[in-house]
Structures are given as structure tokens and as C-alpha cells.
């Protein structure tokens, strides 16, 4: 009889701090300048990708202009080797680049969560094997592996890129999640759930994961940064779909047509700055998360001795 009473108390227990944690994280983010700057850039790119048809002055594939025109009022960034308007290409490219970052970031995070939390929760031999598996993936250099997989793949569409990035990008997060889940494992509310006789899956999804929300968000931000850079790298060497519009593909064509030697440096500089701005936005919010969870890292106003 005492057990159900205890259980009902314990059910309510983890729910309350969950909302509290999220609210705290949110208000800390809003008062952190690094986070605000990052979020503003992310918002800007989201708006650009939604309104690309309105914002781009020309059809990005249109070949109607002269090749390699210098920047002017009509063509803010000049034209490419076949006469496409570079600014319109840049605006349209935001869509695929942002999509790749978010989707690949979510997938990689999901794999991290499954492997990291399972390892910590199951423990023993399972933990040992999964942990070893994670470490192996952490050490194997990712780009050569991505290049080999992408070279074997028959098509080079967005989904191949997403798969390749997911396969190579989950290990770092899995490692962090495992150590946090290990520290949660022996908390009382989990013991309570076990005593109630809840199934392992229920405990993992409704008791363990909600308590790790802020770490999972941080890992997503890291994975998204990784996805931005990895996708750009793969597309740059021609392993994306070269007919698609994305910043990496723009750089591929710029390099392919010798944009720097042809005196069209903006063709190279603009997509690179966009990649860096998107990646930097994820990185800034991520660093802000670090400062929030570890107060020692927060900027100090005066030197203390």
C-alpha cells in the first residue's frame, strides 16, 4: 500500500524541475550576449531561407547575363562563370545549407542519445562495448571516411550527405551523454521508478532524458556546427549534388572555374562568410550554454586575486 503512494509523489517530482530547467536555460540564454548574437544570426538565415523567392532578385539558375560581371547595383556580387547572378544563388543556397545543418544535426544527436544513454543505463559489458565503439568512431578521421562512403554511393543527393554526416558525427555527443547519464543512474527518482516496476524504455524516455535536456541541446548545437562544416567540405570537393544550390556547391563551382584567378573573389568570399556565420551562430550559442552550465567560465569584470 505504501508503494503506490510513494510512486505518485515520485511521478510528479521529475516533471516539476524539467519545466524549471528549461525556463532557467531560456532566461540565461536571453541574458547572454554571445547567445543572443548567435540566435539573431540563426533567425536571420531562417527568414532568408523562407523568403528566398522574394529576396533573390533573379532566378539563380538563369544564364541570361554576361559571364563574370563585376559587382554593381544590378548584380550585388557580380555574376558567375556562366552568367548566373551570384547574390541570387547565395540567397537560394541558404535553404539547403540550413536544412543540412539542422537535419544532420538532429540525426547525429539522436544517434548520440541512443548509444550514450543506452551504454550508461545498461552498464556492465554493454557499456564497455558501446563505449569502445564510441571511442573508435571518435578517433577514426571523419573526412577520409566520409569521402570513401560518398565516393561509393551511387547518387550524391542531400540524403547521402545527411547519412554520411550522421554516421561520422555522433561519437562526441555520445561520450558526453554517457558520462552525464552515468551520474544520474543512481539518483533516487530512478530507483523509485524501478521500484514502481516501470519498464527500462519508460525510465529512459520519461525519467532520464528530460533531466538531460540542456546537454542534449548543447550536443545538437555542436553536431549542427559539425554538419555545416562537413557538408561544405564534401560539397566543395564535388561530393554533393553539383546541380543543387548550396554554399558548399557554390564554392565548388567557384574553385572549378578558377574564380580567384579570374578576378571574381566575391564568388569565393561570400559563400564562405555565410558558412562561417551559420557555423559561428551554432558555436556561439553552444559556448553560451557552456558558460551557463559552468559558472567558472563566465567572463569576469575585474581581475580577482
Return residues touching other proteins (CB under 8 A): 34, 132, 135-136, 138-145, 147-149, 151-154, 172, 225, 228-229, 232-233, 236-239, 251, 255, 260-261, 265, 268-269, 272, 275-284, 287, 290, 294, 296-297, 299-304
Distance of CA 121 to the CA centre of its chain: 25
Alpha carbon distance 43, 299 (integer Å) = 25
How far apart are alpha carbons 21 and 211 in whole angstroms?
8
The CB-of-74 to other proteins minimum distance in angstroms stands at: 25
Helix (H, G, I), strand (E, B) or coil at 250: helix
CB of 211 to other proteins, least distance (A): 24
Q: Which is nearer to other proteins, 61 or 128 (CB)?
A: 128
Reading the block at residue 78, the C-alpha cell is: 557580380
Task: State which residue, 4 or 299, has the beta carbon closest to other proteins.
Answer: 299
Q: Would you say 181 or 228 has its CB closer to other proteins?
A: 228
> Which residue's CB is nearer to other proteins, number 28 or number 176?
176
Q: Provide, rounded to whole angstroms, the least separation between the CB of residue 100 and other proteins.
A: 13
| Residue closer to other proteins, measured from CB, 71 or 238 | 238
Length of the chain: 305
**DSSP codes of every residue in 99-165:** HHHHHHHHHHHHHHHHHHHHHHHH-HHHHHHHHHHHHHHHHS-HHHHHHHHHHHSS---HHHHHHHH
Q: How far is the CB of 89 from other proteins (least distance, A)?
A: 16
162 vs 278, beta carbon nearer other proteins: 278
Dist. CA 90–CA 119, nearest whole Å: 43
In DSSP terms, 115 is beta-bridged to: none
Rounded to the nearest whole angstrom, what is the least distance from the CB of residue 239 to other proteins in the complex?
Answer: 7
| Helix boundaries (H) for the chain | 2-30, 33-50, 52-55, 86-122, 124-139, 142-152, 158-169, 171-184, 188-196, 200-202, 213-236, 247-256, 265-293
* Integer Cα distance of 282 and 290 in angstroms: 13
**C-beta of 131: minimal distance to other proteins in Å?**
11
Nearer to other proteins, 12 or 261 (CB): 261
C-alpha 65, offset from chain centre: 36
Nearer to other proteins, 12 or 300 (CB): 300
For residue 17, what is its C-alpha cell?
524541475
CB of 254 to other proteins, least distance (A): 9
Least distance (Å) from other proteins to the CB of residue 303? 4
Amino acid at each position: 500500500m505504501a508503494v503506490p503512494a510513494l510512486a505518485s509523489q515520485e511521478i510528479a517530482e521529475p516533471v516539476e524541475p524539467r519545466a524549471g530547467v528549461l525556463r532557467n536555460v531560456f532566461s540565461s540564454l536571453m541574458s547572454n550576449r554571445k547567445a543572443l548574437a548567435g540566435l539573431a544570426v540563426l533567425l536571420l538565415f531562417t527568414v532568408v531561407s523562407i523568403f528566398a523567392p522574394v529576396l533573390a532578385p533573379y532566378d539563380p539558375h538563369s544564364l541570361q547575363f554576361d559571364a563574370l560581371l563585376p559587382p554593381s547595383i544590378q548584380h550585388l556580387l557580380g555574376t558567375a562563370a556562366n552568367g548566373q547572378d551570384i547574390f541570387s544563388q547565395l540567397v537560394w543556397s541558404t535553404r539547403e545549407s540550413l536544412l543540412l545543418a539542422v537535419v544532420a544535426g538532429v540525426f547525429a544527436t539522436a544517434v548520440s542519445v541512443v548509444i550514450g544513454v543506452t551504454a550508461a543505463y545498461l552498464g556492465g559489458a554493454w557499456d564497455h562495448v558501446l563505449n569502445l565503439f564510441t571511442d573508435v568512431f571518435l578517433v577514426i578521421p571523419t573526412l577520409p571516411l566520409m569521402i570513401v562512403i560518398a565516393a561509393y554511393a551511387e547518387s550524391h543527393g542531400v540524403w547521402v550527405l545527411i547519412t554520411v554526416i550522421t554516421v561520422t558525427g555522433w561519437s562526441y555527443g555520445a561520450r558526453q551523454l554517457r558520462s552525464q547519464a552515468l551520474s544520474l543512474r543512481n539518483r533516487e527518482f530512478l530507483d523509485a521508478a524501478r521500484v514502481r516496476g516501470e519498464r527500462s524504455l519508460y525510465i529512459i524516455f520519461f525519467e532520464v532524458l528530460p533531466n538531460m535536456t540542456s546537454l542534449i541541446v548543447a550536443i545538437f548545437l555542436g553536431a549542427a556546427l559539425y554538419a555545416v562544416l562537413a557538408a561544405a567540405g564534401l560539397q566543395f570537393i564535388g561530393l554533393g549534388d553539383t546541380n543543387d544550390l548550396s554554399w558548399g556547391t557554390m564554392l565548388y563551382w567557384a574553385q572549378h572555374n578558377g574564380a580567384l584567378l579570374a578576378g571574381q573573389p566575391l564568388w569565393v568570399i561570400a559563400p564562405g562568410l555565410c558558412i562561417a556565420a551559420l557555423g559561428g551562430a551554432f558555436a556561439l550559442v553552444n559556448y553560451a550554454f557552456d558558460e551557463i552550465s559552468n559558472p567558472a567560465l563566465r567572463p569576469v569584470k575585474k581581475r580577482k586575486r
